[in-house]
Amino acid sequence: MAGYEELKDIIAMLGMEELSQRDRQTVNRARRLERFLTQPFFTTEQFTGKKGKLVSLDEALDGCERILNDEFSDYSERSLYMLGSIDEALVETRHGASGSGGDALYELFTPFFFIGIGLKINPSALTAALGMGGILLVAAVLGKLIGAGGPTLLTTGWTGAALIGVSMVPRAEITMIVMGKGLSLGEWAVSNQVFAAMVVVSAVTSILAPIILRSLLNKLPEIPTGVSN
């Protein structure tokens, strides 16, 4: 779990693809452990709709050990969420409630989220949105560079501060979910021009941020490994 915490910043900035095979294994184990260590409470049944479950210490330790032994490495993270004993994941997967089938559906439908965003753009508003999008883009970048990178300038230097600031800029999914909801409420909430402008901002930041981050990471000094005091 401690190793996973150390890797979270790298994952947030560059994604799992930049991790070594060993680090990916560490992350996969830690995430599955986090999900498994959740538990439906009896006191929250009326709010979650999930029946509360009592899990013995031996069952909990058995589940943790089996996850660390990679017995559930082929199971999706959500198949281990809000369970009782670890064997419930086996039962639910056999019934098609979770597992690789769920992952396949997720991968199938995710692109349609972004296609739906494109279809919501009013073509007549797109030209005017470019100017507004440029202004919002500058504001978004400066806001993150100053707000997130500024406080770390004294401890990390210019490159480190820029790295942290730029990594916080792209937030396409969250932004467009909010914008899509506002657009559905009407012009008083989010106009066609504002929606199109935010699509421009999200697209540009999502494309350029990884390129800039890679360049900044290459400028960081390498940390020697295998050196003992």
What confidence tens digit (pLDDT) does each residue in 123-181 have?
Answer: 777 777 788 888 888 888 888 888 887 887 878 778 778 888 888 877 666 777 888 88
- How far is residue 130 CA from its own chain's centroid? 28
pLDDT of residue 92: 67
Whether 151 contacts 135, CB under 8 Å: no
User: Which amino acid, 205?
Assistant: T
pLDDT tens string 166-206: 888 776 667 778 888 888 888 888 888 888 888 888 888 88
pLDDT tens string 204-228: 888 888 888 888 777 766 544 444 4
| Neighbouring C-beta atoms of residue 147, cutoff 10 Å | 11
Radius of gyration of the chain (CA): 22
For 69-122, where are the alpha helices, taking DSSP H only?
Answer: 87-94, 100-120
pLDDT of residue 99: 46
pLDDT tens string 18-27: 778 888 888 8
pLDDT of residue 36: 86
Rounded Cα gap, residues 40 and 38, in angstroms: 7
Rounded Cα gap, residues 209 and 202, in angstroms: 10
- Averaged pLDDT for residues 97-122: 62
Residue ranges and CATH numbers for the domains of the chain are 2-98 (1.10.1140.10), 110-219 (no CATH)
- Averaged pLDDT for residues 22-42: 84
Whether 100 contacts 74, CB under 8 Å: yes
